[in-house]
């Protein structure tokens, strides 16, 4: 079977206007700008207001991505949203985006793969186009994690922020295309990062609200740190091996933006020069599924990533999931 090559034809991002600095957080919990900066590399994050849901950020990011791709919105035949903070349990956020964009007929799907959500969405979208039948797919990574944060828990509230990044995937007519991808998961580590309350195991009740268990629970940051380094290293190698290239061929590396020390450990283990590491974590914090497409958009827009360069994307996240994508921009 002749599989089609697939490219990213447009990208875009959206973040809420409100900035919350480390000093702002130090007024709420027992922390400091120095601690957060040294342990994570984060200086500030964006926080959405009461009226803004995940789909609102998706829509803004998607509009930019569609504009850049040059297609008409009605040419989109699939919308995939990677998120752990959907507007509702159902209907899907992808459906809300479809309605808001005014797209008449297309497939809609939400993917729940934690911070690897955008790369999972890319991998699914790529195959639908590669096998034929679908031409232009909107793949989005988006979160409003600040809505599920316990603002009394300094272990977690300093880490996360809100945002969305979108990509339009289309058939490729040149060397600029996705070269390889890889997905993985390890449910045995699921408890490391979990929201205990609000689902079918522990439905919403007064107790869930009182003990704040419908918020992010992360009891062992160090274990997550270690697993993040190993899994992103493994995914980087697997993705490069499939494409038959080495770390030396890679021009830019965009890891999931969770913690600068995690990213530093990954490049050290991979033997990749620091100059190749693209980071904007200091501005947004960990935006989960949105972090990679936001960083990709930022560094394409500022001219750092140029046509023809190899860009390696690697992610890890709740689940535990991990993923890699290698593309020639
Ligand atoms: N401000 C000040 N002190 C804090 C703090 C905060 N916001 N959060 C935790 N601390 C304290 C801890 O209570 C601990 O105090 P103790 O020594 O008195 O017990 C101390 O800082 C050190 O904690 P430790 O867990 O050893 O710090 P660390 O160097 O591992 O850094 C993380 C903590 C969370 C930054 C780090 O483990 C990490 O980034 N892990 C990965 C988390 C992640 O990426 N999650 C999302 C995955 S998608």
Measured from CB, residues less than 6 Å from any atom of ligand 1 are 31, 35-36, 39-40, 115, 154-155, 158-159, 193, 218, 221-222, 224-225, 258-259, 286, 317
Q: Evaluate whether residue 96 is within a structural domain.
A: yes
φ, ψ of residue 112 to 5 degrees: the values are -110, 90
Indicate whether 129 and 240 sit together in one domain.
Answer: no
Q: What is the CATH number of the domain that holds 279?
A: 3.40.47.10
Determine whether 263 is exposed, middle or buried from the number of CB atoms within 10 Å of its CB (0-12, 13-18, 19+). buried
Number of domains in the chain: 2
Q: How far is CA 190 from CA 68, 83, 185, 196, 317, in A?
A: 37, 16, 10, 11, 10
| Residue carrying structure tokens 């501005």 | 283
Query: Domain ends where: 174, 206, 234?
Result: 174
Q: How far apart are CA 192 and CA 194, in angstroms?
A: 6
Judge if 147 and 164 occupy the same domain. yes
Residue 32's pLDDT is: 98
Task: Spot the catalytic one: 58, 115, 157, 217.
Answer: 115
**Among candidates 8, 16, 311, 329, which has minimal Cα distance to 145?**
16
Q: Looking at the structure, tell me whether residues 127 and 223 fall in a common domain.
A: no
Active site (annotated) includes residue 136: no
Same domain, 122 and 238: no
Going by alpha carbons, the residue nearest to atom 34 of ligand 1 is 221
Nearest C-alpha to atom 44 of ligand 1 is from which residue? Answer: 258
Give the model's pLDDT for residue 1: 65
Q: Are residues 187 and 168 in the same domain?
A: no
Look at residue 3 in the predicted model and tell me its pLDDT: 86
66 and 141 share one domain: yes
| Whether residue 121 is found in the same domain as residue 40 | yes
Helix/strand/coil for 160: strand
Burial of 324 (0-12, 13-18, 19+ CB in 10 A): buried
Q: Tell whether 1 is covered by a domain.
A: no
* pLDDT tens digits for range 271-281: 999 999 999 99
Same domain, 202 and 248: yes
**pLDDT tens digit sequence for 135-185:** 999 999 999 999 999 999 999 999 999 999 999 999 999 999 999 999 999
Closest to 314 measured CA to CA, from 265, 155, 301: 265
Which of 22, 157, 177, 256 is catalytic? The answer is: 256
| Centroid of ligand 1 to alpha carbon of 239 (angstroms) | 30
Tokens read off for 233: 């290293």
**Whether residue 93 sits in one domain with residue 68:** yes
Say whether both 170 and 235 belong to one domain. no
Say what the alpha-carbon torsion angle 40, 46, 51, 57 is, to the nearest 10 degrees. -100
Identify the domain boundary among 174, 196, 224: 174
Domain assignment present for 157: yes
> Residue 208 belongs to what domain range?
179-328
Which stretches of the chain score pLDDT less than 50?
none
């Amino acid at each position: 079977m002749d599989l089609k090559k697939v490219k990213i034809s447009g990208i875009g991002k959206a973040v809420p206007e409100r900035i919350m600095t480390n000093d702002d957080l130090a007024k709420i919990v027992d922390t400091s700008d120095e601690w957060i900066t040294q342990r994570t590399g984060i200086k500030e994050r964006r926080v959405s207001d009461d009226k803004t849901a995940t789909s609102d950020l998706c829509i803004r990011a998607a509009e930019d991505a569609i504009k850049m791709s040059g297609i008409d919105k009605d040419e989109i035949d699939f919308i995939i949203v990677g998120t752990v903070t959907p507007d509702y349990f159902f209907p899907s956020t992808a459906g809300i985006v479809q309605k808001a964009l005014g797209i008449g007929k297309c497939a809609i799907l939400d993917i729940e793969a934690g911070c690897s959500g955008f790369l999972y969405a890319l991998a699914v979208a790529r195959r639908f186009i590669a096998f034929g039948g679908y031409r232009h797919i909107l793949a989005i990574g988006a979160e409003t994690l600040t809505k599920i944060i316990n603002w009394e828990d300094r272990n977690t509230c300093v880490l996360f922020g809100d945002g969305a990044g979108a990509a339009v995937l289309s058939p490729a007519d040149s060397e600029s295309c996705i070269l390889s991808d890889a997905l993985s998961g390890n449910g045995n580590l699921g408890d490391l990062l979990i929201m205990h309350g609000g689902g079918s195991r522990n439905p919403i009740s007064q107790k869930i609200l009182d003990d704040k268990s419908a918020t992010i629970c992360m009891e062992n940051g160090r274990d997550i740190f270690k697993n993040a380094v190993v899994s992103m290293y493994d995914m980087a190698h697997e993705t490069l091996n499939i494409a038959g290239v080495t770390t030396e061929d890679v021009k830019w590396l965009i890891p999931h933006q969770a913690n600068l020390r995690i990213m530093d450990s990954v490049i050290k283990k991979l033997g990749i020069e620091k100059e190749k590491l693209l980071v904007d974590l200091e501005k947004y914090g960990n935006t989960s599924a949105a972090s990679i497409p936001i960083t990709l958009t930022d560094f394409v827009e500022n001219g750092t990533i140029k046509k023809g360069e190899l860009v390696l994307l690697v992610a890890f996240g709740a689940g535990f999931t991990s993923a890699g994508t290698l593309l020639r921009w």
